[in-house]
Amino acid sequence: MKVAQATDAAMPDMGLPPRARIGERWDQVDTPSLMLDLDAFEDNLRTMQALAERHGVALRPHAKAHRCPEVSLRQVALGAQGICCQKVSEAFPFLQAGLRDIHISNEVIGEDKLALLATLARSAQVSVCVDHPEAARALSAALQRHNASLRVLVEIDVGQKRCGVTTPQAAVGLASLVQSLPGLTFAGLQAYHGGAQHKRGMAQRRGACEKAWKLTRQYIDALAAAGISCPVVSGGGTGSAAFDIASGVFTEVQAGSYAFMDADYGSLDWGDDLAFRHSLFMLATVMSRAVPERAILDMGLKSTTAESGMPIPHGIEGVHCVAVNDEHSILAVEPGARIELGDKLRLVPGHCDPTFNLHDELVVVQAGRVHAIWPISARGLSR
Amino acid sequence: MKVAQATDAAMPDMGLPPRARIGERWDQVDTPSLMLDLDAFEDNLRTMQALAERHGVALRPHAKAHRCPEVSLRQVALGAQGICCQKVSEAFPFLQAGLRDIHISNEVIGEDKLALLATLARSAQVSVCVDHPEAARALSAALQRHNASLRVLVEIDVGQKRCGVTTPQAAVGLASLVQSLPGLTFAGLQAYHGGAQHKRGMAQRRGACEKAWKLTRQYIDALAAAGISCPVVSGGGTGSAAFDIASGVFTEVQAGSYAFMDADYGSLDWGDDLAFRHSLFMLATVMSRAVPERAILDMGLKSTTAESGMPIPHGIEGVHCVAVNDEHSILAVEPGARIELGDKLRLVPGHCDPTFNLHDELVVVQAGRVHAIWPISARGLSR
């Protein structure tokens, strides 16, 4: 053991300074930071809410996209029915913030998680997905033990090839079982097609959705033929929302990313119909400029993710991101591009969901100045 | 605003139950969780320490790989010289834990960060990298303002094509400048070749290292010719450590991942020389088993990363991971493989650094039972 290392040495003050101060300019914020353009964000919320209302479909925006209760409160204030969470533990900061209508858009397996779900169901109107009879029985037993009840959606696989029953017969059997189990109320179907969300062309995306709708209708018809009412059909995402809302198939739509528009969703063909704006940015500093053709940012995989495409520099010409390492991003710089050591750059992140999950705070900017700092309270809550 | 949502409603108890309890079996831990096999981990620490000592090279393990002070304390207790951090804010939990010899293996740009670095330098023996005269001047000015001093390594680019000066002439100029600036002591060179670490074959990896050594020697010679002494040459990683330690070029080696061996490093050809064991695992639950050929885990990109390869199921046959979504991983299941709804699986993560950064706690297991829970205190500290 080296003498220089000693746990009994006087401890320095460990408080790190704040990353941003209310009222300062956006380019005075420390980096890397996650930043929200409040006006673009609120425009996006209004656009989607108006679309849903025009077609009489409920909006239940997904909180997994951001894990930030302040976002959900604004969506509900504009008329959203409630929210979706993907994980039970994730729902608790939203419950604490006052959200009281929460759909867990996922299967919940294991005693620890079922006990937590029962706790949630005692404090809010909660629904959850099942895709297996064994899971429905375990859910009912746990709810009974904790004197709780909730609504159940049977998840159906409409092309995602992930969770969900794969035949109308299995869905009818599972719905009947749910109806028979104490603590559970069968409320309908969840039909989410993740793969359809990210198809680039409008026609391709609509085509994938139409296949999913056709399948979903077969499930609805099979339930009706078995005398089982299906009040809720929940699904849809940002890529398919405009089609799904108008489809007549869904009673509620789960889109989440529309509030932010990451680089992946931004790269889709949107036609003239539904213009969402980029509202979410990474702020990063140019930390190395050793050669003219390259600039290095102080932002890496611990601050944003690249599995759905590179972050895109915003408001600057001749510069693009070619790699994201653990703590660095590498920018290729074209001749003549103006980018200097110490510059602060905004970048549209490739994928909003896992990027939000890397940050504890969202720096909210309006008219170029820091307006608020919203805690991302469900960051890391994946149980 | 819906009546069902009300921020003034009675708040439920928000404390989530612990993910693990000391003494329970590893498969009783809630999921997804990050888990360390203590015996394999300690074997790995001893193996690398012994190798470094055999060649008289200092070991300065990188804390960016884990961000967990308990890990660094054990490395230093076995004889490590100190640690590396990649970010200034990241270093503070390590300082608080008692680590007092910290190299910031990166350039630090911007007034907020330089002020923080000066605070660090007043409490520990600190070194930092520079690759630009402007950065050296700003560093010196900030240290003077805060009445602090530190050692400086000039970073040289030996094939990484990221940060670092690209000619011996530039390195000599920068070292001279550093020598002339108040608050700075020129201590030597940082020569890290990230790309060399991950080449699969031993011969390829050694070849990339030999090129980097040859380049590094040119820089050392140029400094000597200019009459500048170069007491420290720092570099090397897990993939190249065995070569680098024996090279005669480095005075200290920065490897970090060797303590854990992720799937990416595990896939390299290691010859017979240096057998590190997998000590780090994701624990996940099978949450959907809708069709025989597929199993879905409750672990996604918010709990592990896949940019360096898929997580690898451990201790189970006929099952492999084909996709990692935001909250799910998809396993392909061969006929006859035994995997049931509710099963808990261990998986070797693709890449340890960004995976650690997704977790607040490391569940430490010995002889199949939970031995300790170590906080990952620098999780999220990327400023």
Mark which residues 128-147 of A lie under 8 Å from B by CB: 131-132, 134-135
Mark which residues 154-173 of A lie under 8 Å from B by CB: 157, 161-166
Pairing of strands B294-297, B329-333: antiparallel
Co-location of B98 and B211 in the same domain: yes
The H-or-E segment that residue A206 falls in is helix A202-225
CA distance B152 to B139: 10
Q: pLDDT tens digits for B140-160?
A: 999 999 999 999 999 999 999
Co-location of B94 and B149 in the same domain: yes
CA neighbor of B130 nearest in space, from B141, B138, B122 = B138
What local confidence, expressed as pLDDT, does residue A274 receive? 65
CB within 8 Å: B116 and A17: yes
CB within 8 Å: A96 and B380: no
∠ CA(A100), CA(A104), CA(A106), 5° rounding? 180
pLDDT(B8) > 60: no
Q: Residues with Cβ < 8 Å from B38, sequence gap 6 or more? A: B279, B364, B365, B366, B371, B372
pLDDT band at B239 (very low <50, low <70, confident <90, very high): very high
In a domain, A30, yes or no: yes
Co-location of A200 and A310 in the same domain: no
pLDDT(B10) > 80: no
CA distance B273 to B242: 8
ipTM: 0.95
In a domain, A6, yes or no: no
pLDDT band at A273 (very low <50, low <70, confident <90, very high): low
Co-location of B286 and B183 in the same domain: no
What local confidence, expressed as pLDDT, does residue B15 receive? 79
Q: pLDDT tens digits for A169-203?
A: 999 999 999 999 999 999 999 999 988 988 989 89
∠ CA(B372), CA(B16), CA(A259), 5° rounding? 120
Residue A30 at interface with chain B, using a CB cutoff of 8 Å = yes
Q: Could you tell me what percent of chain B has a pLDDT over 90? A: 91
The residue among B206, B227, B262 that closes a domain is B262
Co-location of A252 and A117 in the same domain: yes
Per the CB < 8 A criterion, the answer to whether B230 and B223 are in contact is yes
CA neighbor of B306 nearest in space, from A355, A321, A359, A305 = A305
- Structural domain total, chain A: 2
**B2, B89, B162: residue with CB nearest A330:** B162
Co-location of B135 and B283 in the same domain: no
The residue among B262, B288, B306 that closes a domain is B262
Looking at B126-201, list the stretches that DSSP marks H as alpha helix, in order from N- to C-terminal side: 133-145, 168-180, 194-197
In a domain, A311, yes or no: yes
* Nearest chain A residue (CA) to B90: A16
CB within 8 Å: B327 and A288: no
Determine the 3-state secondary structure of A133 from DSSP.
Answer: helix
In a domain, B4, yes or no: no
What local confidence, expressed as pLDDT, does residue A195 receive? 87
pLDDT(A14) > 70: no
Token pair recorded at residue B290: 């809708």
What local confidence, expressed as pLDDT, does residue A16 receive? 93
CA neighbor of A104 nearest in space, from A165, A49, A159, A150 = A150
CA distance B99 to B82: 7
What backbone torsions phi and psi does residue B33 show, to the nearest 5 degrees?
-135, 150
CATH of the domain at B42: 3.20.20.10
pLDDT band at B50 (very low <50, low <70, confident <90, very high): very high
The residue among B237, B262, B287 that closes a domain is B262
Q: pLDDT tens digits for B88-138?
A: 999 999 999 999 999 999 999 999 999 999 999 999 999 999 999 999 999
CATH of the domain at A348: 2.40.37.20
Mark which residues 222-281 of B lie under 8 Å from A by CB: none
Distance from CA of B87 to the nearest CA of A (A): 8
Per the CB < 8 A criterion, the answer to whether A101 and A83 are in contact is yes
In a domain, A295, yes or no: yes
* Nearest chain A residue (CA) to B119: A12
A98 vs A106, B10, B111, CA distance in Å? Answer: 22, 9, 39
Q: Residues with Cβ < 8 Å from A178, sequence gap 6 or more? A: A130, A136, A152, A154, A184, A185, A186
Distance from CA of B145 to the nearest CA of A (A): 17
CB within 8 Å: A7 and B73: yes
Co-location of B59 and B201 in the same domain: yes
What local confidence, expressed as pLDDT, does residue B99 receive? 98
In a domain, B6, yes or no: no
Taking contacts as CB-CB distances below 8 angstroms, the residues of chain B near A148 are: none
Q: What is the DSSP letter of A316?
A: -
Q: pLDDT tens digits for B59-101?
A: 999 999 999 999 999 999 999 999 999 999 999 999 999 999 9
In a domain, A271, yes or no: no
Taking contacts as CB-CB distances below 8 angstroms, the residues of chain B near A132 are: 288-290, 341
Q: Which residue has the higher pLDDT, B1 or B372?
A: B372
Q: What is the DSSP string of B300-336?
A: -TTT---TT---EEES-SSEEEEEE-SS-EEEEE-TT
pLDDT(A376) > 60: yes
What backbone torsions phi and psi does residue B23 show, to the nearest 5 degrees?
95, -15
CB within 8 Å: B382 and A296: no
Co-location of B237 and B282 in the same domain: no
A344-357 mean pLDDT: 98
Determine the 3-state secondary structure of B40 from DSSP.
Answer: helix
In a domain, B10, yes or no: no
Q: Residues with Cβ < 8 Å from B220, sequence gap 6 or more? A: B189, B230, B233, B249
Q: Which domain holds residue B253?
A: 38-262
CA neighbor of B347 nearest in space, from B294, B301, B298, B282 = B282
pLDDT band at B273 (very low <50, low <70, confident <90, very high): low
Distance from CA of B1 to the nearest CA of A (A): 5
Taking contacts as CB-CB distances below 8 angstroms, the residues of chain B near A8 are: 98
pLDDT(A327) > 80: yes
pLDDT(A306) > 70: yes
CB within 8 Å: A119 and B341: no
pLDDT(B254) > 90: yes
Mark which residues 286-345 of A lie under 8 Å from B by CB: 286-291, 294, 296, 298-303, 305-307, 325-328, 330, 341-342
Co-location of A242 and A177 in the same domain: yes
Amino acid, single-letter form, for residue A347: L
Co-location of B151 and B257 in the same domain: yes
Mean pLDDT score across all residues of chain B: 94
Co-location of A215 and A252 in the same domain: yes
**B8, B11, B327: residue with CB nearest A382:** B327
pLDDT(A67) > 70: yes
CA distance A4 to B269: 37
Co-location of B224 and B288 in the same domain: no
Taking contacts as CB-CB distances below 8 angstroms, the residues of chain A near B89 are: 16
CA distance B290 to A165: 6
Q: Which residues of B47-78 are buried (b: 16+ CB within 10 A; e: fewer)?
A: bbbebbeeeebbbbbbbbbbbbbbbbbbbbeb
Mean pLDDT score across all residues of chain A: 94
